[in-house]
């Protein structure tokens, strides 16, 4: 049975296949066309494809195509709209693009401008940098300069400070000098006034010594009170003065004590200390050992100390200078100042501790050798003091002056104890034991008793006496006169033998030219106006030697050391010459 | 110093002439130099520099037939220019003139320091002091009133003077009898007169001496007068 079924089935299938093959040809084109249409439809009408497919019948295909066509038209319309829109958008975009382009161009041109500016700036930077470089160099130079200037400034400041220091130092000195000057003047004034007081006191005492005491007592208590107050003020005044002032006071007290006791002015010890001058043989100098400019101005006086180790010179420059004489040369030791005018005459005290000088400032001054400030100033003369000498008494000094007086001073009281008026200018003085001998411009030499200052003798010479010197044995007196003659007078006996010494070329140069006797009394020395030192032999009366060429101006004084070894001559042009025989 | 003449021996007066040393002190720039220059040279200096150390100015005046030399010590106001010299200023000084600048209150305020310095140098009360206010011609910039200054001066018992070294005739404040004459001059003259009458004739009387009493009392009387007139001028 199954096989039968199978056979017909195969037959039927064969039949059918055959029919399919026959009929397939006829419908082939249609199917193709349809497929094409279908494809077309599905292509053009994607949206409506579903519905189209549902109505997959041929009848509905036209309508669906129509429908599709409509849809397509609609779609075309939409698309056209879209195209329009897009075209519009394109236009906008183009506009925008144009805009952008324009902007780009603008930016490009701006960029170019900026680049230009940049280049310009770069150029400027370069120039500025260059300038900076220059400036920097200048700055460095200036910095260097400034450093140098600052250094200089620092140096200058230091120097300025140094100068200021110096100036202040000088000013301090000037102030100290002014102070001491004031003090000296006030002291001089005091001394003057004291002297006046004293003179007044003395005159009262001598006139009526009994009544003067009651007079003073009878003054009212008021005056006592005043006295006290003055004492007080007076003590204050002296707190800064030197020690010499109280001495003045004590000497005043002494004065009044003595007045009460008696009339003795000199104390007893006075004669004890007068030293014995020794004479050694003098050697005639032959050559100059040393020539020096000893003072600022002319030298008026020169003197050896009794030990011959010290030399003193006094000049117009107001100073007394002390020199040490050692191994044939002079070395400056100290300067004594205090005189307000030139020095005219100097002398060492016999013991060699003090020095006395006469001055143009109308006073005589006394120094201790170790103190440059004068210990005493003796004032009272009214014109220049030409000579000041220690007398034989220890504390006494005698001075001669151009005011035609000779005054005797007590050093303990710092006061003048005697004044003698002479008729003529006194140019020089010398003292021996009991007498004072003075030389005058009226061509007279007067001999005075040294205690009473009474003229005991007058000797006439030929001219104005310029200087006197006495031999160390006090036997011979040498006078130098303006008639260019030295005269030696024998003081022994009554005869007063005289010997004159002259020489060709010797000329007495001034009113104060000083001549000396050698310590052994064998020679005389004097300086001449021609600048030469002349030395005479006393025993023969002839010129021993002439020492020329060392002085350029008139010699004002000579001195012979006590040892006989040295002679010193000084002149008006500041020069001092040490002569010796070595 | 050079302008007022150096003090060589040739210009020295005879020893009879008394010298009064008057120091002028005060702050720097108050016009000490101008004041002293005005008094000694009679004019206002063209220009001045800071005084270093001290300058000396002197003038010779004549009172009652007595010649008196007034020696003014124009001191430095700046500390660095005076440091080492102060003791010289005060040595044996006869009178002290304190100067301040009326247009500078600081210079007035430092017066006590100056007075203290004066004290430190042991200046006795007998040394006359005066107070001078300088530059009073600058009336617009006055900082120190006369009443204040007067009070201060009274407190230290000093007479007060206000003046101007530049224009001393410009005003009369009645402190001195100067009137129309040079006011600066009048001030210093007053001091000198005071000194002259105050000082006894003899500085060192012999103690216990029975003489010289007449001289002495004479001097004292004059001193009394001087003190009185001084007192008047100070108020």
Burial category of A281 from C-beta neighbours within 10 Å (exposed 0-12, middle 13-18, buried 19 and up):
exposed
| Residues A167, A543: Cα–Cα separation, whole Å | 56
Q: How many CB atoms lie within 10 A of CB A47?
A: 13
Confidence class for position B107, pLDDT limits 50, 70, 90: very high
pLDDT value at residue B209 = 37
State the pLDDT at residue A49: 55
pLDDT confidence of A50, banded at 50, 70, 90?
Answer: low
pLDDT in tens, A143-196: 999 999 999 999 999 999 899 888 888 888 888 888 888 888 888 888 888 888
The CA distance from B96 to A48, in Å, is: 136
* Partner residue opposite A188 with nearest CB, options B15, B206, B208: B15
Residues B90-105: what's their mean pLDDT? 90
Q: What pLDDT does residue A266 have?
A: 37
Distance from CA of B9 to the nearest CA of A (A): 6
What residue segments make up the domains of chain A, in order of their start? 287-580
Which pLDDT belongs to residue A561? 86
- CB-CB under 8 Å, A189 with B16: yes
Mean pLDDT confidence for A39-66? 67
Q: Which pLDDT value is given to residue A216? A: 39
- Alpha carbon distance A380, A420 (integer Å): 13
Question: What is the mean predicted confidence (pLDDT) over B91-112?
Answer: 91
Query: Residue A525 and residue A502: Cα distance in Å, rounded?
Result: 11
Q: A256 and B124 in contact by Cβ < 8 A?
A: no
**Tens digits of residue pLDDT in A472-523:** 778 888 998 888 888 888 887 666 778 888 888 888 888 888 899 988 888 8
**Taking all residues of chain B, what is their mean pLDDT, rounded to a whole number?**
74
Q: Are A395 and A264 in contact (CB under 8 A)?
A: no
Per DSSP, helices labelled H in A208-331 are 209-218, 221-237, 244-261
Nearest to B12 among A179, A230, A340 (CB): A340
Q: Which two tokens stand for residue A371?
A: 């103190």
Q: Helices in A491-573 by DSSP H: which ranges?
A: none
Q: What share of chain A is helix, strand, coil (3-state, %, to 5)?
A: 45, 30, 30
Sign of CA dihedral B147, B152, B158, B161: negative
Contact yes or no for B126 and A233 at CB 8 A? yes
Q: Is the pLDDT of residue A310 over 80?
A: yes
- Residue A54: the pLDDT is 55
Query: What ipTM was estimated for this complex?
Result: 0.70
Q: What is the pLDDT of residues B122-152, one digit of tens each?
A: 777 778 889 999 988 888 888 988 999 999 9
pLDDT at A372: 82
Higher pLDDT, A269 or A140: A140
Task: Give how far B221 is from chain A: nearest CA, Å.
Answer: 10
Instruction: Determine if the pTM surpasses 0.90.
Output: no
Percent of chain B at pLDDT > 70 equals 71
B31 pLDDT above the threshold of 70: yes
Is B60 in the A-facing interface, judged by CB distances under 8 Å?
Answer: no
Model confidence over A511-525: pLDDT tens digits?
888 899 988 888 899
Helix/strand/coil for A535:
strand
For the segment B203-217, the average pLDDT, to the nearest whole number, is 37
Confidence of residue B41 (pLDDT cuts 50, 70, 90): confident
Q: Are the C-beta atoms of A197 and B211 separated by less than 8 Å?
A: yes
What SS3 state is found at A220? coil
3-state secondary structure of A416: strand
Residue B176 confidence (pLDDT): 40
Superfamily for domain range B9-234: P-loop containing nucleotide triphosphate hydrolases (3.40.50.300)
Helix (H) or strand (E) holding A137: helix A58-207
pLDDT tens by residue, A204-261: 554 444 443 343 333 334 433 444 433 433 433 333 333 344 444 444 444 444 433 3
Residues of A in contact with B202 (CB under 8 A): 190, 193-194, 197
Cβ distance A190 to B203 less than 8 Å, yes or no, reads yes
- Confidence band (pLDDT; 50, 70, 90) for A69? confident
What pLDDT score does A498 carry? 82
Residues with Cβ < 8 Å from B78, sequence gap 6 or more? Answer: B28, B50
Identify the pLDDT of residue A410. 86
pLDDT at residue A238 in the model: 38
Q: What is the pLDDT of residue B169?
A: 66
- Closest chain B CA to residue A217: B210
Weakest mean pLDDT among A47-61, A393-407, B29-43, B100-114? A47-61
**A271 or A437, which is more confident?**
A437
Query: Worst-scoring range by mean pLDDT, A269-273, A284-288, A451-455?
Result: A269-273
What does the pLDDT read at residue B216? 34
Token pair, residue A346, equals: 């100097």
Task: Write the CA distances from A459 to A350, A421, A434, integer angstroms.
Answer: 27, 18, 17
Are B115 and B126 in contact by the 8 Å Cβ rule? The answer is: no
Q: Collect all residues of chain A within an 8 Å Cβ-Cβ radius of residue B81.
A: 164, 168
Where is pLDDT greater, at A414 or A267? Answer: A414
Per-residue model confidence (pLDDT) at position A206: 46
Residue with the two structure tokens 């003259």: B189
Contact of A551 with A268, CB cutoff 8 Å = no
Q: Say if the Cβ atoms of A197 and B209 lie within 8 Å.
A: yes
Q: Which CATH number fits domain A287-580: 2.130.10.10, 3.30.70.270, 3.20.20.370, 3.10.310.30?
A: 2.130.10.10
Domain spans of chain B?
9-234
Q: Is the pLDDT of residue B223 over 70?
A: no
Cβ contact, residue pair B210, A233, below 8 Å: no
Q: Which residues contact A556 (CB under 8 A, 6 or more apart)?
A: A298, A299, A300, A301, A509, A510, A512, A513, A514, A527, A570, A571, A572
pLDDT of A493: 67
Q: Are B9 and A340 within 8 A, CB to CB?
A: yes
Chain A residues touching residue B212 (CB < 8 angstroms): 197, 200-201
Which of B45-59, B66-80, B159-173 bottoms out in mean pLDDT, i.e. has the lowest?
A: B159-173
| Closest B-chain CA to A363 | B15
Q: Do A230 and B200 touch (CB under 8 A)?
A: yes
Instruction: Determine the pLDDT at residue A245.
Output: 41
């Amino acid at each position: 049975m199954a096989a039968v079924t199978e056979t017909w089935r195969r037959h039927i299938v064969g039949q059918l296949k055959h029919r399919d093959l026959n009929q397939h040809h006829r419908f082939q084109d249609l199917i193709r066309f349809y497929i094409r249409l279908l494809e077309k439809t599905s292509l053009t009408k994607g949206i409506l494809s579903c519905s189209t497919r549902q109505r997959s019948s041929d009848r509905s295909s036209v309508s669906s195509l129509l429908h599709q066509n409509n849809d397509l038209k609609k779609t075309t319309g939409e698309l056209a709209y879209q195209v329009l829109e897009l075209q519009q958008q394109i236009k906008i975009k183009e506009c925008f693009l144009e805009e952008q382009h324009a902007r780009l161009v603008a930016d490009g041109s701006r960029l170019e401008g900026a680049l230009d500016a940049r280049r310009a700036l770069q150029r400027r930077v370069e120039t500025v940098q260059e300038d900076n470089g220059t400036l920097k160099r200048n700055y460095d130079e200036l910095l260097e300069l400034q450093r140098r200037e600052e250094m200089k400034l620092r140096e200058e400041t230091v120097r300025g400070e140094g100068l200021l220091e110096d100036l202040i130092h000088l000013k301090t000195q000037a102030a100290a000098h002014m102070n001491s000057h004031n003090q000296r003047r006030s002291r001089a004034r005091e001394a003057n006034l004291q002297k006046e007081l004293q003179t007044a006191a003395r005159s009262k005492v001598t006139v009526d010594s009994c009544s003067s005491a009651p007079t003073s007592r009878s003054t009212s208590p008021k005056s006592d009170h005043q006295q006290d107050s003055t004492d007080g003020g007076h003590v204050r005044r002296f707190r800064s003065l030197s020690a010499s002032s109280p001495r003045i006071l004590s000497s005043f007290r002494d004065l009044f004590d003595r007045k009460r006791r008696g009339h003795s002015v000199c104390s007893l010890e006075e004669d004890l200390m007068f030293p014995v001058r020794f004479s050694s043989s003098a050697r005639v100098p032959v050559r100059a050992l040393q020539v020096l400019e000893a003072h600022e101005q002319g030298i008026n006086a020169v003197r050896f100390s009794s030990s011959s180790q010290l030399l003193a010179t006094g000049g117009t420059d107001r100073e007394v200078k002390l020199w040490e004489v050692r191994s044939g040369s002079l070395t400056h030791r100290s300067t004594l100042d205090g005189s307000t005018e030139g020095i005219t005459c100097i002398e060492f005290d016999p013991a060699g501790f003090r020095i006395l000088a006469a001055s143009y400032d109308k006073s005589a001054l006394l120094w201790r050798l170790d103190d440059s400030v004068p210990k005493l100033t003796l004032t009272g003369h009214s014109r220049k003091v030409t000579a000041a000498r220690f007398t034989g008494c220890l504390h006494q000094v005698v001075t001669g002056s151009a005011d035609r007086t000779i005054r005797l001073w007590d050093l303990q009281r710092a006061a003048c104890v005697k004044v003698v008026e002479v008729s003529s200018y006194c140019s020089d003085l010398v003292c021996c034991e009991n007498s004072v001998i003075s030389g005058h411009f009226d061509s007279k030499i007067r001999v005075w008793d040294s205690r009473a200052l009474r003229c005991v003798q007058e000797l006439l010479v030929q001219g104005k006496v310029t200087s006197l010197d006495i031999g160390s044995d006090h036997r011979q007196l040498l006078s130098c006169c303006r008639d260019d003659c030295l005269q030696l007078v024998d003081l022994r006996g009554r005869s007063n033998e005289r010997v004159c010494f002259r020489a060709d070329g010797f000329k007495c140069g001034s009113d104060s030219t000083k001549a000396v006797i050698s310590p052994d009394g064998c020679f005389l020395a004097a300086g001449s106006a021609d600048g030469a030192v002349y030395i005479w032999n006393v025993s023969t009366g002839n010129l021993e030697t002439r020492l020329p060429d060392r002085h350029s101006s008139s010699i004002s004084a000579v001195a012979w050391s006590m040892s006989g070894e040295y002679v010193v001559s000084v002149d008006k042009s500041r020069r001092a010459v040490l002569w010796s025989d070595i | 110093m050079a302008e007022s003449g150096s003090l060589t021996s040739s210009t020295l007066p005879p020893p009879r002439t008394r010298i009064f040393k008057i120091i002028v002190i005060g702050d720097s720039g108050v016009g000490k130099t101008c004041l002293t220059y005005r008094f000694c040279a009679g004019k206002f200096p063209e220009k001045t520099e800071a005084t270093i150390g001290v300058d000396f100015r002197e003038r010779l005046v004549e009172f009652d037939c007595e010649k008196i030399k007034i020696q003014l010590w124009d001191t430095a106001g700046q500390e660095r220019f005076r440091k080492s010299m102060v003791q010289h200023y005060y040595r044996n000084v006869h009178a002290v003139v304190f100067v301040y600048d009326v247009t500078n209150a600081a210079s007035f305020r430092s017066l006590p320091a100056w007075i203290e310095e004066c004290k430190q140098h042991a200046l006795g009360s007998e040394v006359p002091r005066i107070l001078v206010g300088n530059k009073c011609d600058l009336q617009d910039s006055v900082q120190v009133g006369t009443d204040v200054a007067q009070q201060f001066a009274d407190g230290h018992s000093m007479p007060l003077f206000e003046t101007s070294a530049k224009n001393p005739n410009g005003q009369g404040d009645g402190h001195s009898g100067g009137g129309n004459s040079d006011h600066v001059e009048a001030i210093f003259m007053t001091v000198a007169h005071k000194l002259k009458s105050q000082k006894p004739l003899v500085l060192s009387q012999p103690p216990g001496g029975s003489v010289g009493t007449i001289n002495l009392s004479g001097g004292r009387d004059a001193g009394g007068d001087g003190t009185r007139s001084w007192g008047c001028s100070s108020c």
